[in-house]
A and B are shown apart, each in its own frame.
Chain A
């Protein structure tokens, strides 16, 4: 980079270099973004070659179904990580909301009210943790770790640890278990949540502030961005998406399980990071998260089709996660060198 010494000429005098630079930039950013997609497609091709069952509509529908709950949680997690935060409590919040919706339906509250109440609790718990972390200047890691334990405990105390929802109405259970044509409803909801969140990130001031806070909190503060509100809100959003996943699971299982979603936070974080969102904030988006969630499910599916045991699966998944990140890092630094 050389310092511009004479900046009096208009900016349009360098059309040639400008076109090259932006072409190179676009090329490199396509490589980074496309990288994950290429790996995804490659694994799908391998899977379909290895197993004729892979490309059946039934299998693909199952895949989407299996991805959707973790995926919805991961979408909320993406926003938190974009602000350079982390939310460890999502699994517990999902379980709590799943319990609440079941209990409220048990006492015969109307379905929409029961669902809204469960979602409100999830969002509220998230917002509270985010607010404590932002205004008290406590690390989100610790606040949400406390939330992970406390909220799980809360979910248990509701029924003294027993499942809730003895006779859930069919109109409710259809949401989690139903299909629209060949597509599972939960999968559609996952896609819907992803699209809405992508639109929020791209087209709202809130979304813009999320990137600003994650990219440089101090610069954002000095530009008048309500940093604490943004930080609290993304945790509220993450609580909301966790609650959606919780309600959907209760609907699918036709019962509220206080033990549900153990370790879901780790699956969600893995998907977000694999999807290219920077753990230090400011870079990434839900598109990458969406593909990463599917990628992880496809891998699992592939292993199952090949008859690989679940213990070996765990090892392989871990290794693939690290390898993907290393590959991303290499491509990223190459792209930066090319652009800079």
Chain B
């Protein structure tokens, strides 16, 4: 069906993309042919999403060339990608929930004359595209009222209306049940039969095996491997995704004896269809890492434990069962959460350092003089954490990311928190700030805190956690010891959901 000798419909060469402080893509090549489902594999942060955003025209690369059907193209804005015949279906569907299916399909290119839209013609056309993706719902249906699988089909149908020759699907099945997955795969096969190319990103390797033709593996912003699906097995894919991990980070570590009593026992946390985690224990002085792919349930687990999200759960603190129905319940049991998004969930950007750091501590400490109390209370803590700031009244948005994150941490220390839940605490920080943050977390653990830290960066957990628990598709699939288990073993579990 395809061969490397034919001109590929998409040819990316030496694509490079840097962001301040990081290199997202060092140099990546990608060849995709018509009539194939080309799967992009890689760990968190390997560069898959960045590459696809460049292809869509949302990011402008710092180097490299893109050819479509042998012709060089330059994308400066998202519309350029669409004009060149590329359609991207993002994981978070970018549909308009309040509009109908037909309106969504033809937004911006509806059949019209003189600015007046021909509604009937549009519905008729919409119907024909819906038929092609095997959809059974009406073009008049409101997208927001459709089940998620039907929304997925709407997004695919929309990609067809622009007559895209290259269709990118980013985790299209992540939120679908098995029957719906099969339907999406059927549609994908039909698309390649029509001689289009599909670029498929999925963490589910059995799906890649099922629907994929060819694979490009990315690792750390470079090409790691490229082969046909039928010639290789998934063990090989995983090995190439993981690569040879450097070990120096862990080798210098000394194991510390955790002698403290269990502080946090998560007997179970369940959310139907999303999360089913059992038996996580964190002892005083211990840092337990939560590893997993994006969407594996790390954030959901932490926010459920913290009472920010409702779930069926049984949790014990120092052996005693506790009921946590709200954030305030959790806080009164001495929990603290450093949330995933520092800016939108962690900080009040317009307020001062002292007011941010002192917000949690003023509850229950009397009705008056909160700012004075905040400052008295937080100044030694901020100093202890070596936060760099000009004055307590300085606005927090003027601080560096690392210092901002330490202030979020300080907020809980000022409240005498015993159980720290950290969700991607080092996101967006540079290496020095990361190391500093973990140094502080380690110190807090040594002072008796129980720490549960979720991170996408396994090497961070290897270097800082006492134990690592791997989540996969909402379940805990294994517990690892960073001193005796290798990064390869843990990566394998993260990707495959099975302990090797």
Chain A interface residues toward B at CB < 8 A: 1-11, 14, 17-18, 21-22, 25, 202-208, 211-212, 215-216, 218-226, 282-283, 339-340
Given contacts A11-B387, A22-B390, contact A218 B370 (CB under 8 A): no
18 sampled A-B residue pairs with Cβ under 8 A: A3-B21, A3-B402, A4-B432, A7-B386, A7-B403, A7-B436, A11-B382, A25-B395, A204-B367, A205-B366, A212-B351, A219-B348, A220-B348, A220-B359, A222-B306, A222-B327, A222-B346, A224-B331
Chain B interface residues toward A at CB < 8 A: 21, 306, 308, 327-328, 331, 337, 339, 344-351, 355, 359-360, 362-363, 365-371, 374, 382-383, 386-391, 393-395, 397-403, 406, 411, 429-433, 436
**In the complex, given contacts A11-B388, A219-B347, what are 13 additional A-B residue pairs having Cβ atoms less than 8 angstroms apart?**
A4-B400, A4-B403, A6-B436, A18-B391, A205-B370, A212-B348, A215-B349, A216-B348, A220-B348, A221-B308, A283-B350, A339-B398, A340-B398
Q: Which residues of B contact A205 (CB under 8 A)?
A: 362-363, 365-368, 370
Most interface-central of B21, B370, B402 (chain A CB within 10 A)? B370
Q: Which residues of A contact B429 (CB under 8 A)?
A: 3
Q: Which of A6, A202, A216 contacts B344 (CB 8 A)?
A: A216
Q: Which residues of B contact A1 (CB under 8 A)?
A: 398-400
Question: How many angstroms between the C-alpha atoms of A21 and B389 in the bound complex?
Answer: 10
Q: Which residues of A contact B363 (CB under 8 A)?
A: 205, 224-225
> Is the beta-carbon distance between B350 and A206 smaller than 8 angstroms?
no
> Is the beta-carbon distance between A5 and B350 smaller than 8 angstroms?
no
Q: Which residues of A contact B21 (CB under 8 A)?
A: 3
A2 CB to nearest B CB, Å = 7
> Is the beta-carbon distance between A223 and B360 smaller than 8 angstroms?
yes
Question: How many angstroms between the C-alpha atoms of A18 and B402 in the bound complex?
Answer: 18
Given contacts A219-B347, A221-B327, contact A203 B430 (CB under 8 A): no
Given contacts A4-B433, A224-B331, contact A208 B355 (CB under 8 A): yes
Q: Which residues of B contact A211 (CB under 8 A)?
A: 348, 351, 355
> Is the beta-carbon distance between B400 and A8 smaller than 8 angstroms?
no
> Is the beta-carbon distance between B369 and A223 smaller than 8 angstroms?
no
B401 CB to nearest A CB, Å = 6
Q: Which of B306, B350, B387, B399 contacts A282 (CB 8 A)?
A: B350
Given contacts A7-B388, A7-B436, A282-B350, contact A212 B400 (CB under 8 A): no
Question: How many angstroms between the C-alpha atoms of A18 and B386 in the bound complex?
Answer: 15
Q: Which residues of B contact A339 (CB under 8 A)?
A: 395, 398
Q: Which residues of B contact A4 (CB under 8 A)?
A: 388, 400, 402-403, 432-433, 436
> Is the beta-carbon distance between A215 and B351 smaller than 8 angstroms?
yes
A280 CB to nearest B CB, Å = 9
Question: How many angstroms between the C-alpha atoms of A21 and B399 in the bound complex?
Answer: 12
Question: How many angstroms between the C-alpha atoms of A3 and B382 in the bound complex?
Answer: 17
A147 CB to nearest B CB, Å = 27
Given contacts A224-B327, A282-B348, contact A22 B394 (CB under 8 A): yes
A70 CB to nearest B CB, Å = 27
Q: Which residues of A contact B398 (CB under 8 A)?
A: 1, 339-340
Given contacts A5-B430, A18-B391, contact A11 B386 (CB under 8 A): yes
> Is the beta-carbon distance between B386 and A8 smaller than 8 angstroms?
yes
Q: Which residues of B contact A221 (CB under 8 A)?
A: 308, 327
Question: How many angstroms between the C-alpha atoms of A142 and B306 in the bound complex?
Answer: 33
B185 CB to nearest A CB, Å = 38
Q: Which of A18, A208, A216 contacts B347 (CB 8 A)?
A: A216
> Is the beta-carbon distance between A3 and B400 smaller than 8 angstroms?
yes
> Is the beta-carbon distance between B355 and A224 smaller than 8 angstroms?
no
Q: Which residues of A contact B382 (CB under 8 A)?
A: 11
> Is the beta-carbon distance between B339 and A222 smaller than 8 angstroms?
yes
> Is the beta-carbon distance between A206 and B367 smaller than 8 angstroms?
yes
Question: How many angstroms between the C-alpha atoms of A212 and B344 in the bound complex?
Answer: 13
B59 CB to nearest A CB, Å = 22
> Is the beta-carbon distance between B394 and A21 smaller than 8 angstroms?
yes
Question: How many angstroms between the C-alpha atoms of A215 and B355 in the bound complex?
Answer: 11
Q: Which residue of A lies closest to B429 (CB)?
A: A3
Q: Which residues of A contact B400 (CB under 8 A)?
A: 1-4
Question: How many angstroms between the C-alpha atoms of A202 and B399 in the bound complex?
Answer: 24
A19 CB to nearest B CB, Å = 8
Q: Which residues of A contact B387 (CB under 8 A)?
A: 7, 11
Q: Which of B344, B360, B370, B389 contacts A224 (CB 8 A)?
A: B360
Most interface-central of B21, B339, B351, B402 (chain A CB within 10 A)? B351
Question: How many angstroms between the C-alpha atoms of A10 and B382 in the bound complex?
Answer: 11
> Is the beta-carbon distance between B359 and A203 smaller than 8 angstroms?
no
Q: Which residues of A contact B390 (CB under 8 A)?
A: 14, 17-18, 21-22, 25
> Is the beta-carbon distance between B351 and A282 smaller than 8 angstroms?
yes
Q: Which residue of B lies closest to A24 (CB)?
A: B390
A223 CB to nearest B CB, Å = 5
Question: How many angstroms between the C-alpha atoms of A21 and B353 in the bound complex?
Answer: 14
Given contacts A204-B367, A220-B359, A282-B351, contact A11 B383 (CB under 8 A): yes
Q: Which residues of B contact A25 (CB under 8 A)?
A: 390, 394-395
A197 CB to nearest B CB, Å = 15
Q: Which residues of B contact A215 (CB under 8 A)?
A: 348-351
A32 CB to nearest B CB, Å = 13
Question: How many angstroms between the C-alpha atoms of A225 and B369 in the bound complex?
Answer: 16
Given contacts A7-B388, A222-B345, contact A204 B370 (CB under 8 A): yes
Q: Which residue of A lies closest to B386 (CB)?
A: A7
Q: Which residues of A contact B432 (CB under 8 A)?
A: 3-7
Q: Which residues of A contact B391 (CB under 8 A)?
A: 18, 22
Question: How many angstroms between the C-alpha atoms of A340 and B400 in the bound complex?
Answer: 11
Question: How many angstroms between the C-alpha atoms of A320 and B399 in the bound complex?
Answer: 36
Question: How many angstroms between the C-alpha atoms of A1 and B433 in the bound complex?
Answer: 14
Q: Which of A5, A6, A208, A219 contacts B371 (CB 8 A)?
A: A208
> Is the beta-carbon distance between B349 and A216 smaller than 8 angstroms?
yes
Q: Which residue of A lies closest to B366 (CB)?
A: A205
Q: Which residues of A contact B345 (CB under 8 A)?
A: 216, 218-219, 222
Most interface-central of B331, B355, B365, B371 (chain A CB within 10 A)? B371
A232 CB to nearest B CB, Å = 16
Q: Which residue of A lies closest to B369 (CB)?
A: A203
B356 CB to nearest A CB, Å = 8
Q: Which residues of B contact A8 (CB under 8 A)?
A: 386, 436
A5 CB to nearest B CB, Å = 3
Q: Which 5 A-B pairs have the closest CB atoms?
A: A5-B432, A215-B348, A208-B370, A224-B331, A21-B390
A61 CB to nearest B CB, Å = 35
> Is the beta-carbon distance between B360 and A3 smaller than 8 angstroms?
no
Question: How many angstroms between the C-alpha atoms of A4 and B402 in the bound complex?
Answer: 7
> Is the beta-carbon distance between B327 and A212 smaller than 8 angstroms?
no
Q: Which residues of B contact A219 (CB under 8 A)?
A: 339, 344-348
> Is the beta-carbon distance between B344 and A203 smaller than 8 angstroms?
no
B260 CB to nearest A CB, Å = 25
Q: Which residue of A lies closest to B360 (CB)?
A: A223
Question: How many angstroms between the C-alpha atoms of A222 and B365 in the bound complex?
Answer: 18
> Is the beta-carbon distance between B433 and A3 smaller than 8 angstroms?
yes
Q: Which residues of B contact A226 (CB under 8 A)?
A: 328
Question: How many angstroms between the C-alpha atoms of A6 and B403 in the bound complex?
Answer: 11
Q: Which residues of A contact B368 (CB under 8 A)?
A: 203-205
Q: Which residue of A lies closest to B391 (CB)?
A: A22
